[in-house]
Amino acid sequence: AQSVAQPEDQVNVAEGNPLTVKCTYSVSGNPYLFWYVQYPNRGLQFLLKYITGDNLVKGSYGFEAEFNKSQTSFHLKKPSALVSDSALYFCAVRDVDSSYKLIFGSGTRLLVRP
């Protein structure tokens, strides 16, 4: 069965420092991977996706993610964190048995301190 793991419940980083939010996946076949962000009392906002091609994917708000097939990881990164980046981040993978169903991780709360 397909699954996604986000091993950190919370990540703390100082403003201006680089940030990484970790995600590992387990799928059969080639993965379609996504990152979403959720602000308080809001729905999910799409950040970026990996379908195929370059392992480094650039997305919205300066975020990027690195696909690593050998480590089955898709970590979210940003070179310089902002206080406004503080939110809940979800990694998701497309279910290969159901092309349009997303399987989400449990989420990682990012806290950027001034």
Partner 1 sequence: ETGVTQSPTHLIKTRGQQVTLRCSSQSGHNTVSWYQQALGQGPQFIFQYYREEENGRGNFPPRFSGLQFPNYSSELNVNALELDDSALYLCASSLVGSGSFYEQYFGPGTRLTVT
Q: Is 45 in the site for partner 1 (CB under 8 A)?
A: yes
Please give the size of the binding site for partner 1, defined by CB under 8 A: 25
Q: Is 42 in the site for partner 1 (CB under 8 A)?
A: yes
How many Cα atoms within 13 Å fall on the side-chain side of residue 79? 3
Nearer to partner 1, 66 or 95 (CB): 95
Among all chains, which residue has been given the structure tokens 């996504």? 34
Cβ burial 80-91 (10 Å sphere, 16+ → b, else e): ebeeebbbbbbb
Identify any residues that bridge with 102 across adjacent strands, giving them in sequence order.
94
Q: Is 100 in the site for partner 1 (CB under 8 A)?
A: yes
Interacting residue with partner 1 among 8, 22, 77, 104 (CB under 8 A): 104
Nearest in space to 19 (alpha carbons), one of 66, 88, 76 = 76
Q: Which stretch binds partner 1 (CB under 8 A): 22-30, 66-74, 75-83, 86-94?
A: 86-94
Interacting residue with partner 1 among 57, 94, 110, 112 (CB under 8 A): 94
